[in-house]
Amino acid sequence: MFGLFKKKTELEKLELQHKKLLEEAFKLSKTNRSASDQKQLEAQQVLDKIEALQNK
């Protein structure tokens, strides 16, 4: 309740986006492998941004 109006940090937003992309890639891996590979690539790019923020 106390964190109700707390804004998410850039790192938290990127972590959520990374998780979402990995879930989508997993779902697509069952039907469309090339689309799954594209989502994996996007997830890797987000992970690189996360690592860059953590190293600052």
**Confidence label for 1 from pLDDT (cuts 50, 70 and 90):** low
Whole-structure pTM value: 0.85
Q: Taking a C-beta distance cutoff of 8 angstroms, is the pair 11, 50 a contact?
A: yes
**Domains of the chain, residue spans:** 10-55
Burial class (CB in 10 A: 0-12, 13-18, 19+), 33: exposed
- Over the stretch 44-53, which tens digit does the pLDDT of each residue have? 999 999 999 9
Sequence-distant (6+) residues with CB within 8 A of 29 are: 36
Instruction: Output DSSP code: residue 34.
Output: H
Name the residue with tokens 């600052």: 56
- The whole-angstrom distance between residue 6's C-alpha and the CA centroid of its chain comes to 21
